[in-house]
Structure 1
């Protein structure tokens, strides 16, 4: 049975490897993946004592199936707190299971515990956008816009 828990220090190597896997199947695959930078970021999120960051993991029989890196902070224009995902990934063999939805439900609980006014899930990987949209709408989320990117390293204008 898939359970959601907060990541712990022993999860760091798995999270670094999963981060690489996430980027390799996404639109970010052309970027250099820096294992050391990711490890330091994960360790910093785990060490956060202010409650601004969290890493939730979906676990089944001690195996991590997915993660959701979360952040909660006040909007720039008011004191209302918004909880946002930094990265969200489920391994291919666990897609179609309850891992993704349980991660979102765990994120919801975490955000509520921080007094968040709303949750925003950012989907910018360009991978299975339609399936992700369908799942999030079923869970009560509303599409509020889109993500746009312009590659400044390409030769195109």
Structure 2
């Protein structure tokens, strides 16, 4: 199969519905529910702000995965860092190299925009799924770096 990846600058209604469904039902949203207005704001930012990007993988005309990220300018030194905002491939399309193609696209974009490091977070899933994601990222050249900790201050 030949899959294509497109950077999205404008979201048509079928794609909007699919992205909203994912954003409203993924594991992060189950912990931190997103309303319709917030999801729309996220999509507008990912497609309209120069420091954000959204790519969608297609099988023909059908979206089968996405990745998004943003650039942040360090306050401590003259460097730019890239951070992910999400990465997903439909279960029936996993294991076909689409996730790697999406990740390569994100990394190349980060490099082309001056980022010295591309970060990718693995959180919010169960331990088994987090480990699988961590292993996949390690196979793509990412290294474990530090720890993410949190303290919940309100629900």
TM-score norm. by structure 2 comes to 0.85
Match of 2:83 in 1: 84
Across the aligned residues of Structure 1 and Structure 2, the Cα RMSD in angstroms comes to 1.8
Deviation (angstroms), 1:32:
2.2
TM-score norm. by structure 1 comes to 0.84
SS in 2 for 1:64: strand
**Which ranges in structure 1 are unaligned for 5 or more consecutive residues?**
none
Are residues 153 and 81 of structure 1, via their aligned partners in 2, closer, same or farther at CA, if it must alter by over 3 Å? closer
Match of 1:131 in 2: 132
Q: In structure 2, how many angstroms separate the alpha carbons of the residues matched to 1:45 and 1:153?
A: 26
What do residues 101-144 of structure 1 show as CA deviations (whole Å, max 9, x unaligned)? Answer: 11100001111110111100111122411111111111111000
User: Higher relative contact order by CA 8 Å / sep ≥ 6: 1 or 2?
Assistant: 1
Q: In structure 2, how many angstroms separate the alpha carbons of the residues matched to 1:79 and 1:13?
A: 39
SS in 2 for 1:9: coil
**Which ranges in structure 2 are unaligned for 5 or more consecutive residues?**
none
* Number of equivalent positions: 149
Runs of 4 or more consecutive aligned structure 1 residues displaced over 3 Å after TM superposition: 149-154
